[in-house]
Amino acid sequence: MSTDPDGESVSAQQSADLTTLLALLDLERVDDDLFIGQHPEQVGPRTFGGQLLGQGIVAAGRTLVKGDPPVHAVNAHFVRGGDVAKPLEYHVDRFRDGRPFANRQVTAMQDGEVIFTMLVAFQNNAAGLEHAVEIPEVAYPEDLPPIGEHFVGYEETVEAFVNALHPIDIRFVNDPAWKLKGTGEQLNHNRAWMKTDGVMPDDPLLHVAALAYSSDTTVLDSIITTHGLSWGFDRLFAATVNHSMWFHREFRFDEWLLYATESPVAAGSRGIGTGRFFTRDGTLAASVVQEALIKYFPPRS
């Protein structure tokens, strides 16, 4: 068990919900390439996409020999909504093993049906050309309220969010959609600082998995705020179709990262959200693209 500089154990610093997330990521290994994942008590109508991403990354990573290359990309497709009352089987196919590169396919199944499938690519970092976009100018997380303060007065409006698992400390730079709704403002981007709500173990794979889990939290918000809409207030249906991530540099997710998201397009009842995770010093650590089925049902006149 790792400790912080003052000697306090990691487990003593973890929030209860972060402990739950780490338990979700601690998959049961049934065979070399078969893992079982569980659901938390706090669930929605179907398996949270971030949970599938995080557990799938862990399943893929656990089939590599320690010291093999780190995760550099994931490309996931959501096939069916998972049954939150049943465990998930993660089947791993090994496509390539090597020192600079390794590739895995992870398939999540329930009752013999595919729920989710994901390609996971691993590659060693090496010196080469480097450039990146700059971090947006935003307030620091210490100057921003925790997400719980944004729920006050909206407990019934966004009840699903209030009652969800909260292993991630989220500090919105701009107001979230449900508060923007009252102002009539249309916002084509969203910014939020994020980190785990407590100290994480040192395993880099868990930091990648936890970041993937959190990447599914606010990435679609810019689709609806571009139109002045909000979860809870407006009749909206959203379901993730696919989700891709690229990990550019090493990071710790128990330290603040800025998740800067926007939506370049919505068409054909689908919308795309893109996001970038920046470390506090402005380094671009990871990039995200998610496509979702999203439908808006205007009120009848």
Catalytic residues: 216, 240, 290
Which residues make Cβ contacts (< 8 Å) with residue 252, sequence separation at least 6?
200, 207
- Whether 72 and 121 have beta carbons less than 8 Å apart is answered as yes
How far apart CA 154 and CA 160 sit, in angstroms, is 11
- Whether 103 and 96 have beta carbons less than 8 Å apart is answered as yes
Q: CA torsion 36→93→61→219, rounded to 10°?
A: -80
Nearest to 214 by CA among 238, 237, 193: 193
Instruction: List Cα–Cα distances, 23 to 60, 71, 91, in angstroms.
Output: 17, 21, 19
How far apart CA 170 and CA 19 sit, in angstroms, is 17
Structure tokens that stand for 261 in this block: 């998201």
How far apart CA 250 and CA 247 sit, in angstroms, is 8
Which residues make Cβ contacts (< 8 Å) with residue 264, sequence separation at least 6?
272, 274
Q: 12: buried, middle or exposed (CB in 10 Å: 19+, 13-18, 0-12)?
A: exposed
